[in-house]
Structure 1
Amino acid sequence: MNQSAVDLPLSGVTVIDLTRVLAGPMCTQTLGDLGARVIKVEQPGVGDDSRAIGPFVDGTSAYFMSVNRNKESIALNLKADADREIFERLLAKADVLVENYRPGTMEKLGYDWEELHARFPRLILVSISGFGQTGPYREKPAYDMVVQAMSGMMSVTGTADSGPCRVGVSIGDLGAGLYAVIGTQSALLRRARTGQGERVDVSMLDCQIALLENPVARLSATGSVPGPIGSRHPSMAPFDVYAAQDGWFVIAVGSDALFRTLCGLIERPALADAPRFASNTERCKHQAELKALLEERLVQEPRAHWLRIFSDHGVPTGEYHSVAEAVAHPQIAARGMIASVQAPSGAALQVASNPLVASFGADSTVRRNPPALDGDRERILQDFVDAA
């Protein structure tokens, strides 16, 4: 395993990680992947809540392992004076502190932003919460499901017959974690100019609204409330999942010229000349009829046939994959998008890699396996306390 982060963009940056479960750990893992030294401060005896969430690999949570690589762990009780002294020694040498407590908790612990900034003026505080540090909902708890529902994300997911439908991954947590990475890097760049740290306030609900770029704009432009439409695109057609003889695949046509090419390839050129399909606007109005007509022809040939001829002629298309098929795909392998981490027992687990790391020439996403609780205490005390 490559232990060096010297060639990565965040090499030399130290992050103190007070986060748990998903949104915060996704942020700090990404910072660690990009070269930062991440020190995870956990509750003694218990650690990150996700350590108790299954499934488990030789007694270690796969959930925890999937978002906590490239970190070190130290257990500290922030209500105990001796541990608070260690924590403050860490802060004195750190660049960034990331926390995802409910707003008000840091103040109760005695680490409100004003106090931190006065004592550690170069320190950047990144706070991730359900609703942010301001507003009438600031103190309410939130999980991914809560912000997916409140943001309208669930209302545009699924089909008209499915009822409210959650996105298949925890996009509320993941979106907030990735926006927090952007905020952290922006604050580091600004500090390079000003010499001062600042607070980055990331709301999970805000991030879900930010990800609703098309539905929000469509509501304003048309006055019509967007709803669930399955897999098709709301403003382009044909742009959907289609049935071939032996399975599903997707076609994504974004122009009239491409549609005409598609019609020729499936030996239905007259479709391109029909007034109801002659423009993208008309095709969207008649998308259900168009899909039925296309599938009448598509089901006559196997999926591989259509994928080959569409790709050869520049029509955007792709296989429909299960997760198992995606993980095994040669394109995913070529890009190094599946990484392997190890539990303290040595058991291996495949996890999603970082899509940015390969671009920076790193040998591997994983320089350090997910830590055992308090597993790096001696090294951390040596570097931050004994050396002071």
Structure 2
Amino acid sequence: MASTPPTSTAAGSPSVSVPNSRTWSLLISRNSPMPWPDNAANNATGPLAGIRVLDLTRALAGPFCAMILGDLGADVIKVEPMPDGEMIRAWGPFDDDVSVYYLSVNRNKRSLALDFRNPDGLRLLREMAAEADIVVENFKPGTVDAMEIGYDALLPANPRIIYASITGFGPDGPYGTWSGFDQIAQGMSGLMSITGFPEGEPTRVGLPISDLIAGMWAALGVTAAVVQRHTTGKGQRVETSLLAAMVGMLCIQGQRYLSLDEVPNRMGNDHPVIYPYGAFTAKDGLINVAVGTQDMWAALCRVLDLESLKDHPDFADNTGRSAHRDALRDHLNARLATRPAMDWTRTLVAAGIPAGPIYAIDQVFADPQVVHSKMVEEVEHPVLGVIRQLANPLRMDAFGGHTVRIPPPLLG
């Protein structure tokens, strides 16, 4: 989501709220410059340790980008509007009055609350930006320029600054002034048109995928800009949008149109060009099976005791199997329905055929491979006590065995 400007609060002094708990203690006067607060509690050892990030983002795409940078070791200060903080602090569901939505995209950050409408607050932002390596923002196009905290305004004081902007549709063009939300981008990128079952309506993905992918693209661009700065000594703009992020992910479906003028249809749980590759019915639920080669097809027929199908004219090659999906699905479901999904998974994998059960979320976190991969870490939250958080899926020696160093912060 590309956000709109924060709501105004009453002008006056002070225009900044500074914590004195887990994050840092700092006293700011109107006339003294804003130093970058000490970060002794961060204990970062990641590849971006020592990099300072000023996170001016709201909602999801921008916060997700800044969280990735924090996971990689950067010192991220999330600046939020007074008096209530950013919008998703009010979005449910809640754990003891703390937004779970906020918890999901704000680990490894500190919080600073100020009044974006107060000239003193904006002055403090500019002073912090002068010491920052990276600024991330996802305001509606034109907003940061109006507040004089855009790239051009900050560049003279900090030529090394890397300035990342995430918008709904881009900073210019016919839709450049439009606000962007995830599902709007899912629809306009074509993603929804290829998601769902053929007989059904275009369907949104079950996660805010446009926000998440835009945030990942922005984080990738920022880290590349950090590398290039070692050579040039200069920062640069990094821009992406929810729409561009999703169009850039259309992959084979987009190339089918560009190369062949084919407009892909929704395929439900089937792969668009390979079969059998999709969801099938086991005894206790659905199982994904992926037969990507002729050798895998022969192995599947052997394992399922369907040898008569291996060289059948309708199923002998991928073209035939794709053309006769419904008939082949019936044969496969009849056999797979005799045993539980995980039982079949082990048998199929042992035969060289990729397979796996389709889990509900509770089953995901109970799965032994997910547990082994340490995709959940614990951290002490100042209100909630010990909480569980998703870990960053990267594994790097520099992480020192964990990726969640500090909890999502309280406001300011």
TM-score (norm 2): 0.87
AA aligned to 1:264 is R
Instruction: Tell me how far apart the structure 2 counterparts of residues 38 and 240 of structure 1 sit (CA, whole Å).
Output: 41
AA aligned to 2:276 is P
Larger proportion of helix: 1
User: Does 1:110 pair with 2:148?
Assistant: yes
SS in 2 for 1:277: coil
| 1:341 CA displacement | 4.5
- Determine which of 266, 275, 286 is the counterpart of 1:248: 286
AA aligned to 1:72 is R
> Which residue does 2:353 correspond to in 1?
315
> Which residue does 2:124 correspond to in 1?
86
| 1:360 CA displacement | 3.8
Higher RCO structure (Cα 8 Å, ≥6 apart): 1
Contact 2:76–2:108 (8 Å) recurs in 1: yes
**Deviation string, structure 1 residues 172-204 (Cα, Å, up to 9, x no partner):** 100000001001001111111111111111111
Q: CA RMSD in A?
A: 1.7
User: Does 1:135 pair with 2:173?
Assistant: yes
Contact 2:375–2:393 (8 Å) recurs in 1: yes
> Which residue does 1:288 correspond to in 2?
326
Instruction: Tell me how far apart the structure 2 counterparts of residues 269 and 220 of structure 1 sit (CA, whole Å).
Output: 39
| 1:309 CA displacement | 1.7
| 1:115 CA displacement | 1.9
> Which residue does 2:297 correspond to in 1?
259
User: Does 1:302 pair with 2:302?
Assistant: no
> Which residue does 2:400 correspond to in 1?
362
| 1:270 CA displacement | 1.5
- Determine which of 194, 200, 205 is the counterpart of 1:162: 200
> Which residue does 1:149 correspond to in 2?
187
Instruction: Tell me how far apart the structure 1 counterparts of residues 42 and 180 of structure 2 sit (CA, whole Å).
Output: 37
Instruction: Tell me how far apart the structure 2 counterparts of residues 204 and 6 of structure 1 sit (CA, whole Å).
Output: 30
SS in 1 for 2:314: helix
Q: May I ask how many residue pairs the two structures share in their alignment? A: 374
Contact 1:57–1:349 (8 Å) recurs in 2: no
Contact 1:65–1:343 (8 Å) recurs in 2: no
> Which residue does 2:263 correspond to in 1?
225
**Structure 2 portions without partners, runs of 5+:** 1-21, 23-39
Moved more, 308-317 or 214-223: 214-223
**Deviation string, structure 1 residues 239-260 (Cα, Å, up to 9, x no partner):** 0111122221111010011101
| 1:348 CA displacement | 4.4
| 1:161 CA displacement | 2.3
Moved more, 18-27 or 115-124: 115-124
AA aligned to 1:324 is D
User: Does 1:278 pair with 2:337?
Assistant: no
AA aligned to 2:111 is S
Instruction: Tell me how far apart the structure 2 counterparts of residues 169 and 351 of structure 1 sit (CA, whole Å).
Output: 17
**Deviation string, structure 1 residues 15-59 (Cα, Å, up to 9, x no partner):** 000001100010001100110000011101121110000011111
SS in 2 for 1:351: strand
User: Does 1:125 pair with 2:190?
Assistant: no
Identity of aligned residues (%): 38
Contact 2:342–2:356 (8 Å) recurs in 1: no
| 1:346 CA displacement | 2.5
| 1:231 CA displacement | 0.9
**Structure 1 portions without partners, runs of 5+:** 375-388
Instruction: Tell me how far apart the structure 2 counterparts of residues 305 and 344 of structure 1 sit (CA, whole Å).
Output: 43
After superposition, the Cα gap between the structure-2 partners of 1:42 and 1:305, relative to the gap in structure 1 and judged at 3 Å, is closer
Instruction: Tell me how far apart the structure 2 counterparts of residues 20 and 5 of structure 1 sit (CA, whole Å).
Output: 25
Contact 2:64–2:212 (8 Å) recurs in 1: yes
> Which residue does 2:74 correspond to in 1?
36
TM-score (norm 1): 0.92
